Amino acid sequence: MANASITFQRSGNISTCTLTGMHPQILTISQTKILPLIKLFSRSYFLVGGTAIALQIGHRRSIDFDLFRNGTIDHKKIADILRKKRMKYELIFKNEDGYHCRIDEVKLTFFSFPNSMAHPVKFDGYISMPGLLDLGAMEAFAFSRRGKWKDYVDMYFLLRDHYSFREIATRAEELFSPEFSSKLFRTQLSYFGDIDYSETIEYVTTAPTDSEIKSFLSKAATEPF
């Protein structure tokens, strides 16, 4: 288990907190096999999304790697590295902002991220990632663009065990203003009408029921801001 020291910025002040370790057990066998490949991109990219959150809090398995960078995406360089490592991969699609492929059942996404973000958390020498509060803020911002059940699950654990609604919403405003709306996030957090349940959630800790998650998030959404 790799120890992690996290530094993040909150309301203009630098704060430091320490995690006792990562949770590599949330990775699938296929993900673990390509960690040496992920390391090859670690100088230019950092890990975000559900896998980064799950590595830090250990609540569920995550079957993909989302690698972001603050800069342009070099499609040719990515493809050259994949071929050099003799990786059998399927190109899903590519555009100016991203390169999306699949290795075995692992979806690997390279994405150009317009916002500057610190990523001081280290995962066993393979890849760095933002602190948990920044990852939570990114999840909150993602609520405006998609309605996947796994995002609600992640937010449930973040709000239940780590941060308040106010802390996550405030950080999202700092990172994504003016695009992020705390009012809209509050509404989305308690709306379950068109959720995408296509991805099965495999918990690695005690599993809450769907109704428990919905009830908790609905209550969290009423927290005074």
Q: What's the pTM value of the predicted model, to 2 decimals?
A: 0.88
Give the pLDDT confidence score for residue 20 in this predicted structure: 45
Burial 11-27 (b: 16+ CB within 10 A, else e): eeeeeeeebeebbbebb
Phi and psi at residue 116, in whole multiples of 5°? -75, 135
CB 55 within 8 A of CB 21: no
Sign (positive/negative) of CA torsion 57, 63, 64, 65?
A: positive
Give the pLDDT confidence score for residue 9 in this predicted structure: 35
pLDDT in tens, 80-124: 999 988 888 999 999 999 999 999 989 999 999 888 889 999 999
Q: Which residues of the chain have pLDDT under 50?
A: 1-20
Q: From the CA atom positions of the chain, what is the Rg in Å?
A: 17
Give the pLDDT confidence score for residue 5 in this predicted structure: 38
Number of CB atoms found within 10 A of residue 151's CB: 20
Give the pLDDT confidence score for residue 6 in this predicted structure: 37
Give the pLDDT confidence score for residue 21 in this predicted structure: 82
Q: Which residues pair with 100 in a beta bridge?
A: 93, 109
